Structure 1
Amino acid sequence: VVEMILVYDKGGKHGEICNTLMIPTGVEYKLIHDFTESVLEKEKPTSVMIYVDGKIEKPVEDLLLRERRDFLLILLMEKDIEINEKIRYSSEIVFLDLLDMNESRKRLRKALTSHIVRKLKTINDFTIYLAKNGIYPGTVFFTKPENTQAFMSLLLSVNINKKNLLIASRFNFALEMPEIFNDDNFVWVTDSIGAQRNRPVNLSFISDTIVKRMLEGKSSVVFVDVFDLLIVYHEFFEVARAFEQIKSAAIEKNSYLILVFSDNAMDSIQFGQITRFCQEWQPESIEDLEMRG
């Protein structure tokens, strides 16, 4: 795919700034003053940059709020401007310092090469709720054990379809949170014997169960908190290999995946290996979407 960037500058007031920003990148771009559906269909951009210096006009906002979006949206701002949160959390925001265009260009390059927001192709309450809380599809996230409760509280939302979840944990959340979990969306990994229990010695069965559900499209939000237990029964590289299969399935299906790792459960080299190519999820608090109407 040839990188084609549309730079929308309503009214043409910022053409010089846009050119100063873009020309040194060497990337092909086209400056436009009208942003319409016909322009999108004709140009088929891989990225759209919009110079936001006030309220985004309704026809443009409507185009950006369509459920399917096939381009990376980058908003250029000189200062933070209030915009629809479905647009805010599905875009890269580049703050421009007009006195330091080199710094502005660094920020733009970072936005253009980031794959996290680019993989967010579907815009709806579910995807934006997760995005607002720092979770994007097709990217592997890892988090510390102390953030498990934050993730569980994230699930208590009208924007989450419980049928699309898959949680693997040593804690019996199906018993603790029956409002959310059942045998269809919960894998209990425990060394106690009984029905509906998955023993940690069965590493391949556990990982295969998770991968199969993801590849079948049954589970689009997957949270795996069993590493510390599995490492007691298996060599590090065996567990790491199983987790690589889970990561690959998430990337292939553009699913949401959060893996729980404690740096106390392995040495620093192992921690670096297993979290490589992962983004850390560090929630400060769980944010709801703004109420509408």
Structure 2
Amino acid sequence: MCASSKVYVVYMGSKDGGADNRDEILRQNHQMLTAVHKGSVEQAKASHLYSYRHGFRGFAAKLTEDQASQMAGIWPESPSFSDAGMPPVPAGWKGKCQSGEAFNVTTCNRKVIGARYYLSGYEAEEDSVKTVSFRSPRDSSGHGSHTASIAAGRYVTNMNYKGLAAGGARGGAPMARIAVYKTCWDSGCYDVDLLAAFDDAIRDGVHVLSLSLGPDAPQGDYFSDAISVGSFHATSRGVVVVSSVGNAGTQGSATNLAPWMITVAAGSTDRDFTSDIILGNGANFTVVPSSS
């Protein structure tokens, strides 16, 4: 471990009522740490200090600042998903919280009211599935938590990115509920899993479906594209479906173009993060880092 590492506590909320399986909890903690150690199990084990498993769930580990930032926001315990001050879950909600690795039923609250994961298609399509990043709704890469917090994250004070853009942050609808449907895994997303998620979301009673994923360009036939098919049936039952148009930004790269979906393209802001460089002779230069 490099000299800049410090000890951090990864707090994962209240423990469930199950047995205290020390070996299984330790394995899960090592798996989480492996993700921020670029797949090195040895470094993950070396960084681990304690597992907390009796009064609450979590662990202590020695991490760099960048590794610690990768761990934060990834978990439903993030303040972006706090249910403080929120009313009870609507009576018409039919969804559920599905238990799994490092994710308990008690992880859900009045903010995160549902969480499911879909693995059958992935396992059936892959010739050999050696490891899976959390057989549970828990987010292993941060992408799902990131997009969920943009849409409906609670207001969080004193936010910054390495000292830049300090201030408060919130999602577009901070009092909206969130239900998670995890369908993507290390090697991608499979149509059968996506359609199962659409099917459950319709039955659960969601009002808006947000998909931050899409097929490869060019857009395929709507009748053979799982997102187009699933969103059509969701829309026909009164569910608003919002999806991403893609990340490439080049001609012909747009996808998710079915007319019954609301497709959102990437945007930009007129904000510059400036820094001053003062030389030994007193000369001062203002630098604007490149966004690329």
- TM-score normalised by L of structure 1: 0.29
Structure 1 or 2: more strand by fraction: 2
Structure 1 or 2: more helix by fraction: 1
Report 1 or 2 for greater relative contact order, CA contacts < 8 Å, sequence distance ≥ 6.
1
- TM-score normalised by L of structure 2: 0.29
